[in-house]
A and B are shown apart, each in its own frame.
Chain A
């Protein structure tokens, strides 16, 4: 059982480039989220989804797009990368049984130069 898998683990982008961070879970979890982690800022919610076809914005959504075409996958797209998007990105999933624990992926460390 792989849990939550994120790819890539590391990425360097030039300003203005676009890319997609991949997230997949094999636990049949309905709820999936993307967070970014910056020093001293904790985990901030970017976008989340409560099921296939449903997404919503979190605390810091600007510059990011998401889609949820299947239960398993929840990709995060950076439309035009900026240095302010240099961060560690975590994907998390939760079972659809109320407020239960979140399972995190290993993270993607993104640097925008």
Chain B
């Protein structure tokens, strides 16, 4: 079945440093979504990427979808303590409705 791998599993940075998490799928994806889960909270949708090579930005967050639509990345510039949480990617296989397959997530800890 479809597998979505995410690395690193955990990263601890100093406030102001950059952070990147990578997501790789064993199959070509229709789209990829990113979610953030604060400690003790529930996953919250951040963004969806659909097109090959797509790049989207949300303030300090930059999301990329690979040309082959099998990988994606989330980059945070100049991390802040509010960025603490676990970041998940989730891919769908088909263009119509299909289930979301989540990566295992990257837990980000930011020290002030």
- Tell me the smallest distance from the CB of A57 to a CB of chain B, in Å: 10
Asked if B42 is at the interface (CB within 8 A of a chain A CB), the reply is yes
Contact of B9 among A40, A48, A50, A92 (CB under 8 A): A40
Closest beta carbon of chain B to A42's beta carbon, Å = 4
Q: Which of B39-94 contact A (CB under 8 A)?
A: 41-45, 48, 88, 90, 92, 94
Contact A42–B88 (Cβ < 8 Å):
yes
Chain A nearest CB from B106 CB (Å) reads 10
Interface string of B22-53 (1 = CB under 8 A from A): 00000000110101000001111100100000
> Would you give the 0/1 interface string for B1-21, flagging 1 where the beta carbon is closer than 8 Å to chain A?
100001001000000000000
In the complex with contacts A42-B102, A42-B104, A104-B43 CB distance below 8 A: yes
What residues of chain A lie closer than 8 Å to B99, measured between beta carbons?
A: 33, 45, 48, 58
Count residues on chain A whose CB falls below 8 Å from chain B CBs: 27
Q: How many residues of B contact A (CB 8 A)?
A: 28
* A50-86 near B? 1/0 per residue, CB < 8 Å: 1000000011000000000000000000000000000
Contact between A59 and B1 (Cβ–Cβ < 8 Å)? yes
Give the A-binding residues of B (Cβ under 8 A).
1, 6, 9, 30-31, 33, 35, 41-45, 48, 88, 90, 92, 94-105
New A-B pairs, 8, CB < 8 Å, besides A48-B99, A99-B97, A106-B41: A31-B97, A42-B6, A43-B90, A45-B101, A98-B97, A101-B33, A102-B33, A102-B90
Give A contacts to B, CB under 8 Å: 31, 33, 35, 40-45, 48, 50, 58-59, 90, 92, 94, 96, 98-107
